[in-house]
């Protein structure tokens, strides 16, 4: 096993623990926004899609990259916006 | 400091913003800020990537960002709160597909260059492709079930199970072959196809009421797919974000399973909701469900001192949340203590009912959980069950042989009166009869939840 993969595994495992720590405390009321918000974060593969499209090594690669980019962007933009919409509803009635 | 280092540091900052953002999602007051913090982290990651030297042209990038951005914006703006589970499923699927496609592109790049696939890169690519494809097709089936395009019933037979195992083994075998023996494009795409079918077969056997578990699990997969793409690109930002989402989905999955007192394996493989499990027992003759009409309901509610509403999926289907809040407000104005008790697995995704009640502006402090009302149930004058079924089924408590035995329920049968608003006497998704409907202190109000609650509202105004 090479060094980069090993470092990646370290990062992955430690980040899982961080995730478990911070998420166990989220109350059930907020489970849906938590899910859609973290879902938007999983759209981070937009980074990979950008690299594939930008490198544009061949027409096939560009189409694959473009498909990935569009879907990842929908995931990111839609995910964050819909989470915000929901959270505004949770907030508005605290004020009233 | 070189550009590459600067980009890496920007990714690190993004990861930090994600962690802080998720942490803030844990409290209603800090949550909107947390969500924005995570969005800023994402913007930063995108901006940093655009500085990467690998990127030669921007035309297609702009096309992709604008198209995806507009579609995402429109979907987020127009979706109804009742359709939120479908929406989350679609976004999950797209995220998984994007991660999978990144892995596919990397495979084509390496195999096109004619160099043999290194084992570590190969394992990452196969994992990314497999998880991404399963997430995508599984989420699409979940979407279809939630939207009513695909039957919500559990479709389970030994053929599906056999085929799933075959495909899973086949995918792993193909992955092993491509990584270990020969970089074969045809076999690689066979792996893609097998994974896509596998995703369909994994979700098809799961019934409607178990959807909260599936949605949470797919959420976790989409994170793992992103992490796998991170291993492919050796990018720590993807690995960290993917791990966070993977962990979040796993926790939600386990919370949902615990709320049903079932193991994950049981949810995934036991085909709840085929209707075959719990036959309606033969003693129907001596059990009569007592119907009630709007006027009497209004009387009972209007002169009660404590009322608890128990919303379920039927509330979402009928979009009755606004009417219910109106009823709650009217009763409060009459001095009735009104609470809304939400079961963790009510609805079709974790927290589904809370979102609907929040949309209808039900104040936070009127919401409660089963443990808040159960100990004091004898003192509650009326529980009003709106479109819920299995989560109030006393069999879970009384019948150890019942498939839902041990599932924590809201014990409406112990309240002084229980009014159940329901379209018919049909059993819930667990396929079980519900003795609550036949209790002497239970009243059944048949009809569409929004319509029924609306009629009760009119009657309460007349009091």
Rounded CA-CA distance A57/A13 in Å is 33
B276 within domain boundaries:
no
Which of B101, B234, B350 is nearest residue A8 as measured by Cβ atoms?
Answer: B234
A24 within domain boundaries:
no
Rounded CA-CA distance B324/B357 in Å is 9
Asked whether the beta carbons of residue A86 and residue B112 sit closer than 8 angstroms, the reply is no
Q: From the CA of B368, how many Å to the nearest CA of chain A?
A: 9
Which helix (H) or strand (E) segment is A74 a member of? Answer: none
* Neighbour count for residue A16 (Cβ, 10 Å): 20
Note whether B291 and B255 are same-domain residues. no
Q: From the CA of B131, how many Å to the nearest CA of chain A?
A: 13
Q: How far is CA B230 from CA A18, A63, B35, in A?
A: 17, 21, 22
Note whether B4 and B65 are same-domain residues. yes
Percentage above 90 pLDDT, chain B: 44
- Whole domain around residue A54: which residue ranges? 36-96
Number of structural domains found in chain A: 1
Q: What is the mean pLDDT of residues B408-435?
A: 82
pLDDT of B354 reads: 87
B337 within domain boundaries:
yes
Rounded CA-CA distance B310/B418 in Å is 10
User: Between A3-23 and B236-259, two packed helices, what is the crossing angle to 10 degrees?
Assistant: 40
Q: What is the mean pLDDT of residues B352-375?
A: 88
Note whether B120 and B58 are same-domain residues. no
Note whether B430 and B315 are same-domain residues. yes
Rounded CA-CA distance B463/B461 in Å is 6
Tell me if B208 sits within 8 A of B347, measured CB to CB.
no
Any idea which residue has 């084992």 for tokens? B119
Note whether B409 and B436 are same-domain residues. yes
**pLDDT bracket for residue B150 (50, 70, 90):** confident
A45 within domain boundaries:
yes
Q: Compute the mean pLDDT over every residue in chain B, rounded to the nearest whole number.
A: 87
CA B62 from chain centre, in angstroms, equals 32
Rounded CA-CA distance B385/B391 in Å is 10
- B222-231, B254-263, B376-385, B413-422, range with the lowest pLDDT: B254-263
SS (H, E, C) chain B: CCHHHHHHHHHHHHHHHHHHHHHHCCCCCCHHHHHHHHHHHHHHHHHHHHCCCCCCCCHHHHHHHHHHHHHHHHHHHHCCHHHHHHHHHHHHHHHHHHHHHHHHHHHHHHHHCCCCCCHHHHHHHHHHHHHHHHHHHHHHHHHHHHHCCCCCCCCCCHHHHHHHHHHHHHHHHHHHHHHHCCCCHHHHHHHHHHHHHHHHHHHCCCCHHHHHHHHHHHHHHHHHHHHHHHHHHCCHHHHHHHHHHHHHHHHHHHHHHHHCCCCHHHHHHCCCCCCCCCCCCCHHHHCCCCECCHHHHHHHHHCCCEEEEEECHHHHHHCCHHHHHHHHHHHHHCCCEEEEECCCCCCCCCCHHHHHHHHCCCCHHHEECHHHHHHHHHHCCEEEEECCCHHHCCHHHHCCCCCCCCCCCCCHHHCCEEEEEECCCCCCCCCCCCHHHHCCCEEEEECCHHHHHHHHHHHHHHC
Number of structural domains found in chain B: 3
- B107-121, B208-222, B323-337, B357-371, range with the lowest pLDDT: B107-121
Note whether B351 and B422 are same-domain residues. yes
Residue B388 has phi, psi (to 5 degrees) of -110, 160
Q: What is the mean pLDDT of residues A22-36?
A: 86
A43 within domain boundaries:
yes
Q: How far is CA B149 from CA B72, B86, B145, B146, B152, in A?
A: 22, 11, 6, 8, 9
- Whole domain around residue B186: which residue ranges? 84-269
A1 within domain boundaries:
no
Judging contacts by C-beta atoms under 8 Å, the chain B residues touching residue A95 are: none
pLDDT of B230 reads: 93
Asked whether the beta carbons of residue A56 and residue B60 sit closer than 8 angstroms, the reply is yes
Asked whether the beta carbons of residue B238 and residue A30 sit closer than 8 angstroms, the reply is no
- B244-253, B258-267, B423-432, B442-451, range with the lowest pLDDT: B423-432
B156 within domain boundaries:
yes
Q: Is the pLDDT of residue B280 over 60?
A: no
Which of B26, B32, B355 is nearest residue A32 as measured by Cβ atoms?
Answer: B355
Q: Which tokens go with B322?
A: 């606004």
A26 within domain boundaries:
no
**Domain stops at, among B44, B62, B78:** B78
pLDDT of A2 reads: 66
Number of CB pairs < 8 Å for A and B? 391
Q: Is the pLDDT of residue B268 over 80?
A: no
Rg (CA), chain A: 18
Q: What is the mean pLDDT of residues B9-31?
A: 91
B42 within domain boundaries:
yes
Judging contacts by C-beta atoms under 8 Å, the chain A residues touching residue B39 are: 40, 80
Q: pLDDT tens-digit profile of B29-58?
A: 899 999 999 999 999 999 999 998 888 888
Note whether B66 and B161 are same-domain residues. no
Asked whether the beta carbons of residue B71 and residue A78 sit closer than 8 angstroms, the reply is yes
Which of B15, B50, B358 is nearest residue A90 as measured by Cβ atoms?
Answer: B358
Q: Is the pLDDT of residue B207 over 70?
A: yes
What B399-406 contacts at long range (C-beta under 8 Å, 24+ apart), as own/partner pairs, is B402/B278, B402/B432, B403/B270, B403/B272, B403/B277, B403/B278, B403/B430, B403/B432, B404/B260, B404/B261, B404/B430, B404/B432, B405/B261, B406/B261
Percentage above 70 pLDDT, chain A: 93
pLDDT of A12 reads: 94
Q: Which tokens go with A44?
A: 């981070």
Q: What is the mean pLDDT of residues B202-224?
A: 87
Which residues make Cβ contacts (< 8 Å) with residue B213, sequence separation at least 6? B206, B253, B256, B257, B260, B264, B267, B345
Instruction: Count CA within 13 A, CB hemisphere, residue B426.
Output: 10
- B114-118, B144-148, B369-373, range with the lowest pLDDT: B114-118
Q: pLDDT tens-digit profile of B317-347?
A: 888 999 999 999 999 999 999 999 999 888 8
Which of B36, B97, B352 is nearest residue A32 as measured by Cβ atoms?
Answer: B352
Q: Compute the mean pLDDT over every residue in chain A, rounded to the nearest whole number.
A: 88
Closest CA to B76 of A63, A76, A81: A81
pLDDT of A94 reads: 47
pTM for this prediction: 0.86
Tell me if A45 sits within 8 A of A68, measured CB to CB.
yes
Q: From the CA of A17, how many Å to the nearest CA of chain B?
A: 8
List the single residue in B with minimal CA-CA distance to A73: B68
B289 within domain boundaries:
yes
Q: CATH number of the domain that B371 lies in?
A: 3.40.50.1220
A65 within domain boundaries:
yes
Asked whether the beta carbons of residue A80 and residue B236 sit closer than 8 angstroms, the reply is no
Question: Which residues of B have a catalytic role annotated?
Answer: 390
Q: Is the pLDDT of residue B389 over 60?
A: yes
**Domain stops at, among B56, B78, B100:** B78
Pairing of strands B367-368, B442-446: unpaired
**pLDDT bracket for residue B239 (50, 70, 90):** very high
Rounded CA-CA distance B379/B415 in Å is 7
**pLDDT bracket for residue B430 (50, 70, 90):** low
> What is the ipTM, given to two decimal places?
0.93
pLDDT of B337 reads: 93
Asked whether the beta carbons of residue B226 and residue A37 sit closer than 8 angstroms, the reply is no
Q: Is the pLDDT of residue B282 over 50?
A: no
**pLDDT bracket for residue B250 (50, 70, 90):** very high
Note whether B231 and B350 are same-domain residues. no
**pLDDT bracket for residue B286 (50, 70, 90):** low
Number of H helices, E strands in chain A: 5, 0
Bridge partners, residue B368, by sequence: B341
Q: Which tokens go with B27?
A: 């409290």
> Residue A36 has what DSSP assignment?
H
Q: From the CA of B158, how many Å to the nearest CA of chain A?
A: 33
Note whether B317 and B434 are same-domain residues. yes
**pLDDT bracket for residue B26 (50, 70, 90):** confident
Highest mean pLDDT (candidates A1-15, B59-73, B163-177): B59-73
Q: The dihedral of CA B147, B151, B154, B155: what is its sign? A: negative
A47 within domain boundaries:
yes
Note whether B360 and B376 are same-domain residues. yes
Q: Which of B102, B212, B321 to mutate to test the interface with A (most CBs of A within 10 A)?
A: B102
Asked whether the beta carbons of residue B21 and residue A37 sit closer than 8 angstroms, the reply is yes
Asked whether the beta carbons of residue B25 and residue A33 sit closer than 8 angstroms, the reply is yes
A21 within domain boundaries:
no
Note whether B133 and B260 are same-domain residues. yes
Q: How far is CA B411 from CA B98, B114, B389, in A?
A: 44, 66, 12
**Domain stops at, among B218, B240, B269:** B269
Note whether B250 and B109 are same-domain residues. yes
Rounded CA-CA distance B171/B187 in Å is 10
Asked whether the beta carbons of residue B31 and residue A23 sit closer than 8 angstroms, the reply is no
List the single residue in A with minimal CA-CA distance to B345: A28
Closest CA to B212 of B84, B311, B93: B84
Judging contacts by C-beta atoms under 8 Å, the chain A residues touching residue B367 are: 29
pLDDT of B1 reads: 63
pLDDT of A82 reads: 93
Q: Which tokens go with B242?
A: 């993917």
pLDDT of A57 reads: 81
């Amino acid at each position: 096993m090479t060094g980069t993969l090993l470092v990646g595994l370290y990062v992955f495992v430690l980040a899982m623990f961080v995730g478990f720590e911070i998420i166990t405390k989220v109350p059930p009321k907020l489970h849906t926004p938590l899910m859609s918000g973290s879902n938007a974060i999983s759209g981070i593969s937009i980074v990979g899609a950008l690299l594939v499209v930008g490198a544009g090594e061949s027409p096939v690669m560009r189409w694959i990259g473009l498909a990935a980019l569009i879907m990842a962007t929908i995931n990111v933009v839609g995910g964050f916006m819909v989470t915000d919409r929901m959270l505004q509803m949770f907030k508005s009635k605290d004020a009233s | 400091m070189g550009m590459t280092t600067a980009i890496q540091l920007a990714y690190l900052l993004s990861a930090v913003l994600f962690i802080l953002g998720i942490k803030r999602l844990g409290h209603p007051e800090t949550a909107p800020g947390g969500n924005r913090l995570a969005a800023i982290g994402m913007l930063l990651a995108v901006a940093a990537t655009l500085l990467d030297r690998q990127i030669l042209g921007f035309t297609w990038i702009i096309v992709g960002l604008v198209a995806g951005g507009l579609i995402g914006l429109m979907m987020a703006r127009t979706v109804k709160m009742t359709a939120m589970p479908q929406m989350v499923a679609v976004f999950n699927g797209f995220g998984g597909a994007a991660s999978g496609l990144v892995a596919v592109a990397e495979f084509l790049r390496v195999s096109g260059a004619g160099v043999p696939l290194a084992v570590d890169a190969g394992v990452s690519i196969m994992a990314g492709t497999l998880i991404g494809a399963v997430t995508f097709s599984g989420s699409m089936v979940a979407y279809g079930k939630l939207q009513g395009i695909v039957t919500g019933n559990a479709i389970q037979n030994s053929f599906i199970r056999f085929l799933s195992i075959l495909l899973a083994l086949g995918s792993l075998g193909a992955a092993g072959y491509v990584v270990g023996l020969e970089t074969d494009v045809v076999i690689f795409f066979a792996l893609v196809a097998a994974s896509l079918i596998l995703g369909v077969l994994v979700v098809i056997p799961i019934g409607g009421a178990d959807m909260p578990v599936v949605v949470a699990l797919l959420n976790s997969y989409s994170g793992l797919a992103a992490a796998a793409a991170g291993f492919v690109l050796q990018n720590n930002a993807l690995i960290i974000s993917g791990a966070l989402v993977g962990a979040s989905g796993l926790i939600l999955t386990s919370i949902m399973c615990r709320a049903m007192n079932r193991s994950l394996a049981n949810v995934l493989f036991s085909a709840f909701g085929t209707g075959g499990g719990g036959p309606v027992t033969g003693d129907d003759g001596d059990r009569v469900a007592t119907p009630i009409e709007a006027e009497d309901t209004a009387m009972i509610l209007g002169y009660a001192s404590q009322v608890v509403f128990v919303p379920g999926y039927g509330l979402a289907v009928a979009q009755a949340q606004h009417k219910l809040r109106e009823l709650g407000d009217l009763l409060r104005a009459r001095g009735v203590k009104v609470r809304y008790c939400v079961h963790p697995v009510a609805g079709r995704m974790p927290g589904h009912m809370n979102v609907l009640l929040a949309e209808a502006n039900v104040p936070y402090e009127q919401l409660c959980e089963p443990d808040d009302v159960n100990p004091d149930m004898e003192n509650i004058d009326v529980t009003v069950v709106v479109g819920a079924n299995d989560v109030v089924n006393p069999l879970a408590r009384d019948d150890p042989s019942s498939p839902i035995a041990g599932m924590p329920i809201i014990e409406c049968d112990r309240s002084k009166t229980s009014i159940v608003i329901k379209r018919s006497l049909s059993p819930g998704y667990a396929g079980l009869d519900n003795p609550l409907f036949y209790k002497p202190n239970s009243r059944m109000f048949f009809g569409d939840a929004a319509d029924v609650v609306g009629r009760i509202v009119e009657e309460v105004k007349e009091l």
